[in-house]
């Protein structure tokens, strides 16, 4: 089993802190909401991902087992 980073679209409000902390992992779509860059879901820097998770005011960034 491995882990995958994802954004809960029901929670994301577009604060973009994730993107400013870890632009190599997160993108912002044309509507201003975050997504995990393709190919990065299971290949992200743990430290910056955890920092982004802690800094999202909506708690929209999550890790799940896959």
Residue 51 as a binder of ligand F3S (CB under 6 A): the answer is no
Give the contacts of 33 (CB within 8 A, at least 6 positions apart): 7, 9, 12, 14
Residue 37 as a binder of ligand F3S (CB under 6 A): the answer is no
Residue 22 as a binder of ligand F3S (CB under 6 A): the answer is no
State the minimum distance, in angstroms, from the CB of residue 25 to ligand F3S. 11
State the minimum distance, in angstroms, from the CB of residue 43 to ligand F3S. 19
Residue 13 as a binder of ligand F3S (CB under 6 A): the answer is yes
Give the contacts of 21 (CB within 8 A, at least 6 positions apart): 48, 51, 52, 55
């Amino acid at each position: 089993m491995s882990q995958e980073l994802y954004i809960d679209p029901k929670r994301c409000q577009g604060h973009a802190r994730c993107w400013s902390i870890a632009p190599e992992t997160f993108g912002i779509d044309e509507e201003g909401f975050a997504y995990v860059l393709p190919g990065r879901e299971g290949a992200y820097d743990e430290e910056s991902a955890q920092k982004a998770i802690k800094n999202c005011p909506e708690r929209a960034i999550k890790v799940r087992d896959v």
